[in-house]
């Protein structure tokens, strides 16, 4: 069983379109994340979310919005896609709490190409 | 804000030999976690090793070990008996405990193991 899954794995779309990437985890975790990996392989946090709070990296444009229908899902919606949004997007999850460390488990990534 | 620096964009090593990847970081926190992640061509992010800042003992996982120098804010990864399957991009990462638990990544080091 896949612990953290993302769909689709590849997404090719035109500039200006609106698209969504889905993420599901079956680990029973209560915190989920979205990271963006650009063309130079640099990874940067976009959001972290649990049922209590959403923490947004200040550099993320408001065209990006996470939506969580339930604890096991955190989908990424992107409006008015731009060329610069082309990247690989990773979902991750972890168990919060305890004040210490809980490993983040990553999904396989979604490669988004904006034409 | 935390920053993580990996000054070696690319490295290579002969199979069965030892290689060390460098990482430095900057933070004003006293308690935090450091990680090395591996990203092979499959794109999957795999946790290699982690270190808690409050532990003086360097972490070890089989052929992987770290040299953690807290005062110098240095966290290098040593891979012993390198194998072809170790060929990957390696990312150093920092995490501050707290509700967000977001990972801050370095720019990565592409390691190639040569036969």
Return the CATH number at B82. 2.60.40.10
> Is A96 in the B-facing interface, judged by CB distances under 8 Å?
yes
Contact (CB<8Å) A90/B105: no
In sequence order, what are the beta bridge partners of A113? Answer: A12
Q: What is the mean pLDDT of residues A6-25?
A: 97
> Is B70 in the A-facing interface, judged by CB distances under 8 Å?
no
Q: Which of chain A's residues have a Cβ under 8 Å away from the Cβ of B107?
A: 40-42
Contact (CB<8Å) A88/B105: no
Which residue in B39, B103, B104 is closest to A104 by CB distance?
A: B103
Output the DSSP codes for A38-52: -TT--EEEEEEEESS
pLDDT in tens, B13-51: 999 999 999 999 999 988 899 999 999 999 999 999 999
Q: What is the mean pLDDT of residues A66-73?
A: 90
Domain containing residue B16: 3-114
Cβ pair A25, A32 in contact under 8 A: yes
> Is A60 in the B-facing interface, judged by CB distances under 8 Å?
no
Taking Cα atoms as reference points, which of A46, A101, A41, A85 lies closest to residue B6? A41
Cβ pair B2, B96 in contact under 8 A: yes
Contact (CB<8Å) B95/A55: no
What is chain A's mean pLDDT, rounded?
Answer: 91
Q: How many domains does chain B have?
A: 1
**Range of lowest pLDDT (A78-82, A85-89, B28-32):** B28-32
Provide the token pair at B11.
Answer: 């490295």
Q: What is the mean pLDDT of residues B72-87?
A: 97
Contact (CB<8Å) A41/B103: no
Q: What is the mean pLDDT of residues A18-35?
A: 94
Beta strand spans in chain B (E): 3-5, 10-14, 19-21, 24-26, 33-39, 46-52, 60-61, 64-69, 74-79, 88-95, 103-105, 109-114
Give me the percent of chain B exceeding a pLDDT of 90.
85
> Is A41 in the B-facing interface, judged by CB distances under 8 Å?
yes
- In the predicted model, is pLDDT for residue A99 greater than 60? no
Cβ neighbourhood burial of B47 (10 Å; 0-12, 13-18, 19+): middle
Which residue in A31, A94, A101 is closest to B50 by CB distance?
A: A101
Cβ pair A82, A13 in contact under 8 A: no
Q: Select the residue from A33, A50, A106 to test the B interface by mutation, using most B Cβ atoms within 10 A.
A: A106
Q: Which of chain A's residues have a Cβ under 8 Å away from the Cβ of B38?
A: none
Q: Which of chain A's residues have a Cβ under 8 Å away from the Cβ of B100?
A: 48, 55
CATH number corresponding to A4-114: 2.60.40.10
All structural domains of chain A with their residue ranges: 4-114
Contact (CB<8Å) B99/A43: no
């Amino acid at each position: 069983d896949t612990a953290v899954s993302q769909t689709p794995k590849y997404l090719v779309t035109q500039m200006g379109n609106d698209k969504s990437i889905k993420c599901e985890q079956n680990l029973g975790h209560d915190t989920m994340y979205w990271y963006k990996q650009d063309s130079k392989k640099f990874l940067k946090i976009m959001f972290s979310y649990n049922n209590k709070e959403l923490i947004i990296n200040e550099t993320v444009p408001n065209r990006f919005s996470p939506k969580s229908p339930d604890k096991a899902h955190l989908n990424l919606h992107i409006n008015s896609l731009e060329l610069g949004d082309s990247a690989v997007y990773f979902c991750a999850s972890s168990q919060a709490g305890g004040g210490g460390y809980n490993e983040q488990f990553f999904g396989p990534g979604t490669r988004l190409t904006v034409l | 804000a935390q920053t993580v620096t990996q000054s070696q964009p690319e490295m290579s090593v002969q199979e069965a030999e030892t290689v060390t990847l460098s990482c430095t970081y900057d933070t004003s926190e006293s308690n935090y976690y450091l990680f090395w992640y591996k990203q092979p061509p499959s794109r999957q992010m795999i946790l290699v090793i982690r270190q808690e800042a409050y532990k003086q003992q360097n972490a070890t996982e089989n052929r992987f070990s770290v040299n953690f120098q807290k005062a110098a804010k240095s966290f290098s990864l040593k891979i012993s008996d390198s194998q072809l399957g170790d060929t990957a991009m390696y990312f150093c990462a920092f995490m501050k405990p707290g509700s967000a638990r977001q990972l801050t990544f370095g720019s990565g080091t592409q390691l190639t193991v040569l036969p």
